[in-house]
Amino acid sequence: NPTYTADAKGKATRISSGKVINGLAKKFPWFNGGSADLAPRTMTLMESAEAGHFSSHNYAGRNLHFGIREHGMAAICNGLALCGMRVYGASFFVFTDYMRPSMRLASIMHLPVTYVLTHDSIGLGEDGPTHQPIEHLSACRAIPGLDVIRPGDANEVAEAYRTAMQRKHPAAIVLSRQNVPTLDRTKFAPASLTSRGGYILAEAPGGKPAAILMATGTELDIALKAWEKLTAEGLQVRLVSMPCTEWFDEQDEAYRASVLPRSITARIAVEAGIRQSWDRYLGENGRFVGMSSYGASAPFADLYKFFKITPEHVVDEVKGAMGKCGSPG
127 touches 94 (CB < 8 A)? no
**Which contiguous run of DSSP H or E holds residue 122?**
none
215 touches 152 (CB < 8 A)? yes
53 touches 65 (CB < 8 A)? yes
- Neighbour count for residue 131 (Cβ, 10 Å): 17
238 touches 281 (CB < 8 A)? no
User: What DSSP character marks residue 183?
Assistant: P
Beta bridge pairs of residue 180? 11
Percent of the chain that is helix, strand, coil (3-state, to 5): 40, 20, 40
Annotated active-site residue in 70, 156, 246, 271? 70
Q: Among this protein's residues, is 70 annotated catalytic?
A: yes
User: What DSSP character marks residue 187?
Assistant: T
Q: Which residues are catalytic?
A: 70
